[in-house]
Amino acid sequence: MTKDLFLQALTKYLAGVALVALLLFLPAGTIHWPRGWLFIGALFIPMLGAGIVMMLKNPALLRRRLNAKEKEMSQKQNIALSGGMFVAGFALAGLDYRFSWLQLPLWASLCAAALFLLGYGLFAEVLRENEYLSRTVEVQAGQKVVDTGLYGLVRHPMYAATLLLFLMMPLILGSVIALIPFLAYPAIILRRIGNEEEVLERELAGYSDYKRRVKHRLIPFIW
């Protein structure tokens, strides 16, 4: 653990909390929005715990997770599309609460929060299984194919976890309308997977064989 890594992680974490809060509560016109705070807690409390664990046990993995500078042009476009999705979705959720357009019952938000935490658990397991996991599409020095655990079921368990996480976000916030922008995420992730597999087949030894053995990308026995 280094001081620079700690400060970088802390700065990005606090900036993320502030940005999400602004995107939610400004359109809502109030900070007195219980489901807004429920979402912030569900998103950032486990994130803090995961960050602390990585900082103490695997700072190299944390450093890779903090790096979001993509080399592939199509991945830069995917990041821009994802950013637009989040801005639109969070703003619509806040406006939905403010003007009471189409609010879900509280039990639906609580169920969505439980599924969201399940997605976090899957994501944590992926981080445990794959020490090479990065936020960017790249092959690292000494990287090997991981084909056990969740990687023995699907080739991209991290994206499967984020699919569950992101689709639950607007439902935790109680907004059906905010779900509309988030429905773009499956298309974005399929586009990312296509480019990522091209890179991995080209640069990572053994990946083509792994691809033949593990047929499904995101959902076991389906796709």
Per-residue pLDDT reduced to its tens digit, 35-52? 999 999 999 999 998 888
**Which residues lie across from 175 on neighbouring strands?**
103
Highest mean pLDDT among 21-25, 61-65, 73-77, 213-217 belongs to: 21-25
CB atoms within 10 A of CB 209: 11
pLDDT for the residue numbered 26: 98
218 has pLDDT over 90 = no
Say if residues 165 and 116 touch (Cβ distance below 8 Å): yes
pTM: 0.88
Considering only residues 50 and 172, tell me which one the structure prediction assigns the higher pLDDT: 172
Q: Which domains does the chain have, with CATH numbers?
A: 3-213 (1.20.120.1630)
**DSSP 8-class letter at 175:** B
pLDDT-derived band at 138 (thresholds 50, 70, 90) equals low
Average pLDDT (5-9) is 85
pLDDT-derived band at 146 (thresholds 50, 70, 90) equals confident
Average pLDDT (124-129) is 85
- Which uninterrupted H or E stretch holds 111? helix 106-129
Which tokens is 28 given?
């809502």
Q: Which of 86, 85, 204 is nearest to 155 (CA)?
A: 204
Considering only residues 60 and 9, tell me which one the structure prediction assigns the higher pLDDT: 9
% of the chain with per-residue pLDDT over 70:
91
Least trusted range by pLDDT, from 1-15, 20-34, 167-181: 1-15
Considering only residues 69 and 161, tell me which one the structure prediction assigns the higher pLDDT: 161
Say if residues 81 and 185 touch (Cβ distance below 8 Å): no
pLDDT for the residue numbered 181: 96
Alpha-carbon span 139 to 127, nearest angstrom = 16
Q: Please, what is the average pLDDT of the chain?
A: 87
pLDDT-derived band at 172 (thresholds 50, 70, 90) equals very high
pLDDT tens for 183-199 read: 999 998 888 888 888 88
CB atoms within 10 A of CB 214: 17
pLDDT tens for 41-96 read: 999 999 998 888 888 887 877 777 776 666 666 767 878 888 999 999 999 999 99
